[in-house]
Structure 1
Amino acid sequence: MNRRQILLGTGGALVTAALGAVAWRAATGTMSEYEDYTARLRAPLSPDIADVIRHATLAANSHNTQPWRFRVTKNAIEMRPDPSRRTPAVDPDDHHLFVSLGCAAANLAIAAGASGRPGEATIDNEMVRYAFMTTSPHDEPLLYAIGRRQSTRSEYDGRAVPTADLATLQAAAAVPGVDLVIVTDPARVAAIRDLVIVGNDAQMRDAAFMRELKSWIRFNPRSAMASGDGLFAAASGNPSLPTALGGVAFDRLFEASTENDRYARQIASSAGLAVFVAEQADPAHWIKAGQACQRFALEATRLGLKLAFVNQPVEVAALRPELARLIETTRRPDLVLRFGYGPTLPFSPRRRVSEVLSS
C-alpha cells in the first residue's frame, strides 16, 4: 500500500506561463472544484446504507485502486476483492489487495454501527461478511476520523508522541491474529529507513513497477475527479499538470536519488514507525492486518496525528527477513507506517458507491 511522489520542480510554472492560465485550467480543472468534490465524498454519515458503504470506501488501499466490491442483502453486507483492480507488479501475491479489503471492513463496521446497524464482521477466506441487526443510530468514537484520515506524504514536525497516546494507538489496533510493533528508538527507525531506501531503489529499477505506478497517477484535479481513483499528485504536494505533460515529467524527472532523499527526510521528521505482523501469511490474516491498520490510522487521526505508508521493505521480498529481524519476529511483516504531527494535504479521490456495488 505504497505511494510514490513526483518531482516536477519549476517546470509546471513555466509551462503555465506559456500556455496561459485559461487553457491550463481547462486541461487540469481547479483545486476549488476538487475541494468541493472531496467535501461531498466526506460528508457526514446519513442513515442510508449506501452512505455506510461510502464510508467504507474511504479506507486506506494500495495505489488508491479501491479493489473491492460490496453486495447488500437484507441483514448483511458482503465484501469481496475486485480482481480487475490488481496491481501485480507491486503486489504479485495480492497481499495488499486483501489488506485493503480489511481496511474497508474496519470502516464498514464503524459506520454501520453508527447508522443503527450494529453487527459482526466474519472472514470466510477471501470474503468479509458483516451481519447486522437494526437499532437506533448511536455514537461511534472513530466515525468522524473516517472522513479525516489520509495518507499524508510530507515531512512532519519531529515531535514525539506522548506515551499515553502510543498506548491508545496500540489498544485501538488490537485485532486477534495481528501484532503491532511501534518503533520510536532512533537507531531502529534509522535501520528501517535504510531498508525503505534500498527497497525504493529496487522498485525504481523495475520497469514493470514503474509502468504500473504511472498508470495509477492522476496528475490534475480533472483527471482525479473523472476516474475517482488513483494517486492524486497534489495529495503529495506536487503541482497540477495536464495529463500528457505529467506523464513526460514522470518519465524525465522521477529519479531514485531524489526520492531516496525525500524518504530519508520524511522518516527522520516522523515520531515513529508502526509495523503490523499477522500470525499467518494468507488472505484471511491479511484482511485482519488491514482491520488492525485501519483502526490504528483512525485512532491516530482522532489524536491529531498524520500517517503515511513506507512499505518498500515488505513489497521487496528480499528485504522482509531483515525487517523481521529488526522488529524481533520470525513472521512475515505486513505493513509499515510512519506517523507524527504534520500538515493536512488534499484528500484522495473515490469512486461513486454505484461503481462498487454488485447486485
Structure 2
Amino acid sequence: MATNTVTDEYPEIALTRRDGLKLAGLGIASVAALGMGVGGVRAVTNGAFSAGSGDPYDLWHDWHSMTGIERVVAAGALACNPHNTQPWRMIVDGDVIVVHSDPSRRMPINDASGREHLAGLGCAVENMVIAAGAAGSTSQVTLFPHGLASDHVARIGLRKDRPRQDRDLAAAIPHRHTNRGPYTSAPVDLSDFAEQSLRVDGASVLWITDKAAREKLGRLYVEATEAITADTAQSTEAFSWFRSSRGSIDKYRDGLTLDAQGLGDLALFAAKLLPAQSREDGDAYWVKATREVHTATAAAYGVIVVDDVTDRSAQVNGGRLLARMHLTATALGLGLHHMNQITERIDRDAASGNPDVFSARWAALLGRPASTGLLSFRIGHPERTPGLSPRRSLDDVVTS
C-alpha cells in the first residue's frame, strides 16, 4: 500500500487570484490555444482531459451493474469520509462483512482525537446498511465486538428477509459527491431530513439556519481555517493528501483533487494548465474560498451531535448519521460540504497543550457543550456539479 508522504513529486496546484483574472481575461478560446503548447503538457499531466475517467473512478461507474454482497461492499467503499482517506479494510465471510480501521490512513495532526477517522468508518458501515436494505436484507450491526480499543470496528451480518427499504438513498450512492462550490441563495427545506435524523441511535443533527448565527459560525470557520494554515505541521499533513496531478491520482486513488474543489470550468482548466504552486499558495486559496464561497453561500449548517465526541462508538454512529444526511441531500439535488476546521483546531490545541481558543465559541453557537459537537457541514442548492473523487478498487480494500 502506498504511503502518504510529502514530496516535491506531486506538489499542489492552486489558482491564484492574479492568475485567475489573467486567464479569465484571455477567454476560453485563448486558454484552449495556450493549452496546445507547454501548458498543454501540464494540462494532460494534471488530468485536464481525463477527469472522472479511468481506474480511480471505475467504482462510481460500475456500482449500478454490481449485485449481491459485492454491491453492498462497494457501497461502503464509496462512502463519504473526511479528507477522502478511505480509512477502511473489509473482510467478507459469507453473509458477514467485518470492517476494520486502517491505522496507516489516520491523520494524527489534523484529526488528533481520531473522530474523523472513525466517523469515516461509520459512513462506510451505513452505506452498506443502506445498500443491503435496498436489496431486501436486514443488517445486524455490532460495533467494536472485541472492545473499544480494537481496530475491529464493526461486524455486519446480513439476512435477506425483509421488504426493500432505503431505495432512494441507495440510488444516490454513486451520485454522492462533496460539493465545495458556491450555493444559491435559495433556502433549504430541512423537513426532508427529519426522518433520517432518527435512524441512528446515539446521534442527531443540530441545524443552524438563523442568519446571524450562520454569520458568526462562518467567521469562526474562517478563523479556524487561518489557524490550520498557520500551523505548519497541520498544513503539511493536509497537503500530503492532495493529489494535484493525474499521476498522483492514479498512484494513490485517494485524497483531495482539483476536480473536487468546486471551481468553475474555466478556472479548473486554468488551474491544471498552470505550473505547480506551493503549499502556501494552496492554503491562501483555501482561506479565501472559505471566506468568499463556502461560508458566504451556505444556506444552513448541520452539526452531528453525540453525548461525548471522545467516545469511539459515538464517533462511528455520528459517521453513520452523516452518511444518511449526505445521501439524503444528494437524493434531493442539494449540495453538502463537510467542514470540520473548528473541531480539528479544538482537538489540535488539546493534543498540543495549547490554549483552547475555539471551544467556548463553538459551544455558544451550538447551545450545548463543545464536547457534543462531533462533525459539521454546510448545505444548499449548488450552482455547479461536483467532480468525482478517486477511489481504491475493491481488491485494494476487501479480502475474503
- State the TM-score, normalizing by the size of structure 1: 0.88
Give me the whole-angstrom Cα distance separating, in 1, the residues matched to 2:13 and 2:300.
21
Give me the whole-angstrom Cα distance separating, in 2, the residues matched to 1:230 and 1:180.
26
CA contact (8 A) 1:310 1:338 kept: yes
Change (3 A) 1:351 1:196: same
**Which deviations, in whole Å up to 9, do the C-alpha atoms of 1:2-28 show, x marking residues without a partner?**
xx994345389698565152x335523
User: Which amino acid is 1:157 matched to?
Assistant: T
Deviation at 1:117, TM superposition (A): 3.4
Deviation at 1:158, TM superposition (A): 1.4
User: Which amino acid is 1:316 matched to?
Assistant: R
* Partner in structure 2 of residue 323 of structure 1: 362
User: Which amino acid is 1:7 matched to?
Assistant: L
**Which deviations, in whole Å up to 9, do the C-alpha atoms of 1:270-328 show, x marking residues without a partner?**
21000111112211100000011110111111111101012111111131332122111
* Partner in structure 2 of residue 158 of structure 1: 185
Deviation at 1:160, TM superposition (A): 0.2
Deviation at 1:155, TM superposition (A): 0.9
CA contact (8 A) 2:90 2:398 kept: yes
Q: Percent identity?
A: 28
The answer on 1:355 being equivalent to 2:396 is yes
Change (3 A) 1:123 1:40: closer
How many pairs are equivalent? 349
User: Which amino acid is 1:297 matched to?
Assistant: H
* Partner in structure 2 of residue 169 of structure 1: 193
Deviation at 1:255, TM superposition (A): 4.4
Give me the whole-angstrom Cα distance separating, in 2, the residues matched to 1:93 and 1:341.
32
Give me the whole-angstrom Cα distance separating, in 2, the residues matched to 1:20 and 1:264.
30
* Partner in structure 2 of residue 7 of structure 1: 15
User: Which amino acid is 2:301 matched to?
Assistant: L
Deviation at 1:252, TM superposition (A): 4.9
User: Which amino acid is 2:159 matched to?
Assistant: M
The answer on 1:187 being equivalent to 2:212 is yes
Q: What secondary structure sits across from 1:35 in the alignment?
A: coil
Give me the whole-angstrom Cα distance separating, in 2, the residues matched to 1:315 and 1:272.
20
User: Which amino acid is 2:92 matched to?
Assistant: V
CA contact (8 A) 2:179 2:385 kept: yes
CA contact (8 A) 1:46 1:115 kept: no
Query: Following superposition of structure 1 onto structure 2, how do residues 170-319 of structure 1 map, counting pairs within 5 Å?
Result: 170-174=194-198, 175-236=200-261, 237=263, 238-239=268-269, 245-246=275-276, 249-256=277-284, 258-265=285-292, 266-280=294-308, 281-317=310-346, 318=356, 319=358
CA contact (8 A) 1:218 1:232 kept: yes
**Alignment match of 2:387 (pick from 333, 346, 358):** 346
Change (3 A) 1:240 1:136: farther
Deviation at 1:211, TM superposition (A): 1.3
- State the TM-score, normalizing by the size of structure 2: 0.80
Deviation at 1:214, TM superposition (A): 1.4
* Partner in structure 1 of residue 60 of structure 2: 41
Q: Which moved more, 1:35-44 or 1:322-331?
A: 35-44
Deviation at 1:46, TM superposition (A): 2.3
Q: What secondary structure sits across from 2:260 in the alignment?
A: helix
Q: Which moved more, 1:286-295 or 1:327-336?
A: 327-336
User: Which amino acid is 1:134 matched to?
Assistant: K
Change (3 A) 1:252 1:26: same
User: Which amino acid is 1:291 matched to?
Assistant: R
Q: What secondary structure sits across from 1:316 in the alignment?
A: helix
Give me the whole-angstrom Cα distance separating, in 2, the residues matched to 1:90 and 1:243.
30
Give me the whole-angstrom Cα distance separating, in 2, the residues matched to 1:5 and 1:313.
25
